[in-house]
Chain A
Amino acid sequence: MAEKNKLQKNNFQKGSGTIILGIETSCDDTCAAVVKNGREILSNVISSQNEIHEKYGGVVPEIASRKHIEMIDIVIGEALFKAGIAPEKINMVAVTNRPGLLGSLLVGVGAAKAFSYYNQIPLIAINHLKAHIFANILANNEINFDIPDKYISLIVSGGHSSLYIVDENLTIKEIGHTVDDAVGEAFDKIARYLNLGYPGGPVIDRISKKADPHFIEFTRPMLESGDFNFSFSGIKTALIYRTKKYPELMKEENIPNLTASFQAAAVDVLIQKTIRACVKYKISKVLVSGGVAANSRLREEFMAAGDKHKIKIYIPPINLCMDNAAMVASLGYFEFRKGHLSNPDIDVYSRTDF
Chain B
Amino acid sequence: MKLEILTSSPEDTKRIGRSLSQLLSQGDIIFFLGELGGGKTTFISGTAEGLNIKGNVTSPSFTLINIYDFVKGGIKTRLVHCDLYRIDSFKDIPDIGIEEYIYDTKSVVFVEWGCFLKEKISRDYLEIKFEYFFEDLDAEDNPEAMNQKRKIIFSAENSYWKQKLELLKSMKLF
Contact = CB atoms under 8 A, between A and B. Distances in A.
Interface of A: 56-63, 101, 158-159, 178-182, 185, 188-189, 192-193, 219, 233, 236-238, 240-242, 244-245, 350
A159 B66 CA distance: 13
B96 A62 contact: yes
Chain B interface residue count: which class?
A: 20 to 34
A10 to B, nearest CB: 38
7 contacts: A56-B86, A62-B95, A189-B61, A237-B147, A240-B37, A244-B35, A245-B143
Contact of B62 (A59, A62, A237, A241): A59
Given A63-B95, A242-B143, A236 B59 contact: no
Interface of B: 35-37, 41, 56, 58-59, 61-64, 85-87, 92, 95-98, 132, 134, 143-144, 146-147
A180 B58 contact: yes
B86 to A, nearest CB: 4
A60 B61 CA distance: 10
B63 A101 contact: yes
Contacts of B37: 233, 236-237, 240-241
Contacts of A179: 56
A244 B37 CA distance: 11
Contacts of B95: 60, 62-63
A245 B134 contact: yes
A193 B74 CA distance: 42
A148 to B, nearest CB: 33
A189 B96 contact: no
Given A56-B87, A180-B41, A244-B134, A238 B62 contact: no
B64 A219 contact: no
Given A181-B58, A185-B61, A240 B35 contact: yes
A70 to B, nearest CB: 15
A241 B143 contact: yes
B32 to A, nearest CB: 15
A193 B37 CA distance: 11
Nearest to A193: B36
Contact of B59 (A62, A63, A180, A238): A180
Contacts of B56: 179
Given A180-B41, A219-B144, A237-B37, A61 B61 contact: no
